[in-house]
């Protein structure tokens, strides 16, 4: 979106403890990029700053630049949480479920019920997507171990919500990983999807909730694709920053 584009009519909503509070409609320009969106989102999450039980997880790839800014502002660790859709062979847009970091699998029981040879298909697709998930995790973390999420407060971040399917799968997967609290946080999303996530997450923060939402990219001037290399770089920078932050905290 060009920087001189017309303002976008928007209603801002910060949902705390699953209660939505809408301010009066206002006009705002799109975020210049994901980093600016992350800094804006971090302002809505200040009550989690400096807490030792909090970790920020970005959904690759576009959620990671947003999550990096949030983690840096809050002074908490950053990592990724990868979700891979389990598409029905030949009808890949139809998801029979999803897998996520940590060996978690979530199945769509309605699709499983109507799928011929469901067990065989699910195991085959799961094996394929698990290999890709593991490849990405190894590539992104560059040898660093995956974090322990049990009993943690997890702030789960993407660059925006549309249908919310990936985010819903991620929340369900984090439940299985034993997270103490799951906070879904995005810079922008349609009001109905934000409300749906409130039913799953312990807290949902949609920093902007436009009434006439069309697409996430509509709210960014620069919505270019985030590369694997950028994800690796941001995770590496976040890991390097942590020891220095910890030393300052102890002084």
Q: Pick from 53, 57, 52, 56: which is nearest to 73 by CA?
A: 56
In 3-state terms, what secondary structure has residue 81? coil
Query: Following DSSP, what letter does each residue of 114-166 receive, concatenated?
Result: H-TTHHHHHHHHHHHHHHHHHHHHHHHHTTPPPPP-TT-EEEEE-S--SS-HH
Structure tokens at 176: 């299985």
Structure tokens at 177: 């990983």
Which band of pLDDT confidence, cut at 50, 70 and 90, is reported for residue 141?
Answer: confident
What is the mean pLDDT of the segment spanning 33-45? 98
Q: How many CB atoms lie within 10 A of CB 62?
A: 22
- The rounded distance, in Å, linking the Cα atoms of 211 and 219 is 13
Model confidence pLDDT, tens digit, residues 43-67: 999 999 999 999 999 999 999 999 9
Q: Which residues contact 46 (CB under 8 A, 6 or more apart)?
A: 74
Beta pairing class for 54-58 and 153-157: parallel
- State yes or no: pLDDT of 8 exceeds 80: no
Q: Give me Rg for the CA atoms of the chain.
A: 18
- The rounded distance, in Å, linking the Cα atoms of 29 and 128 is 41
What is the mean pLDDT of the segment spanning 214-220? 94
Query: Domains in the chain, ordered, with CATH?
Result: 8-82+142-250 (3.40.50.2020), 84-141 (3.30.1310.20)
Question: Contact at 8 Å (CB) between 83 and 55?
Answer: no
Q: What is the mean pLDDT of the chain?
A: 86
State the pLDDT at residue 92.
Answer: 82
Distances (CA, A) of 5 to 2, 8, 19, 219: 5, 9, 32, 11
């Amino acid at each position: 979106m060009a920087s001189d584009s017309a303002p976008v009519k928007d209603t801002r909503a910060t949902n705390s403890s699953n209660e939505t509070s809408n301010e009066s409609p206002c006009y705002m320009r799109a975020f210049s990029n994901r980093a600016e969106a992350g800094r804006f989102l971090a302002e809505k999450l200040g009550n989690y700053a400096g807490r030792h039980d909090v970790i920020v997880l970005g959904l690759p790839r576009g959620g990671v630049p947003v999550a990096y800014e949030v983690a840096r502002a809050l002074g908490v660790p950053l990592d990724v949480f990868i979700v891979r859709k389990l598409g029905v062979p030949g009808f890949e847009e139809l998801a029979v479920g999803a897998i996520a970091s940590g060996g978690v699998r979530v199945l769509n029981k309605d699709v499983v019920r109507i799928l011929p040879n469901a067990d065989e298909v699910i195991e085959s697709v799961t094996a394929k997507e698990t290999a890709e998930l593991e490849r990405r995790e190894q590539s992104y973390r560059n040898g660093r171990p995956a974090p322990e999420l049990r009993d943690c407060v997890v702030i789960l971040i993407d660059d925006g919500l549309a249908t919310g399917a990936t985010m819903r799968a991620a929340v369900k997967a984090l439940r299985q990983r034993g997270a103490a609290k799951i906070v879904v946080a995005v810079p922008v999303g349609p009001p109905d999807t934000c409300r749906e996530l409130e039913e799953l997450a312990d807290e949902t923060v949609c920093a902007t909730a436009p009434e006439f939402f069309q697409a996430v990219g509509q709210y960014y001037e620069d919505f270019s694709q985030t590369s694997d290399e950028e994800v690796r770089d941001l995770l590496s920078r976040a890991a390097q920053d942590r020891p220095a932050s910890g030393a300052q905290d102890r002084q």
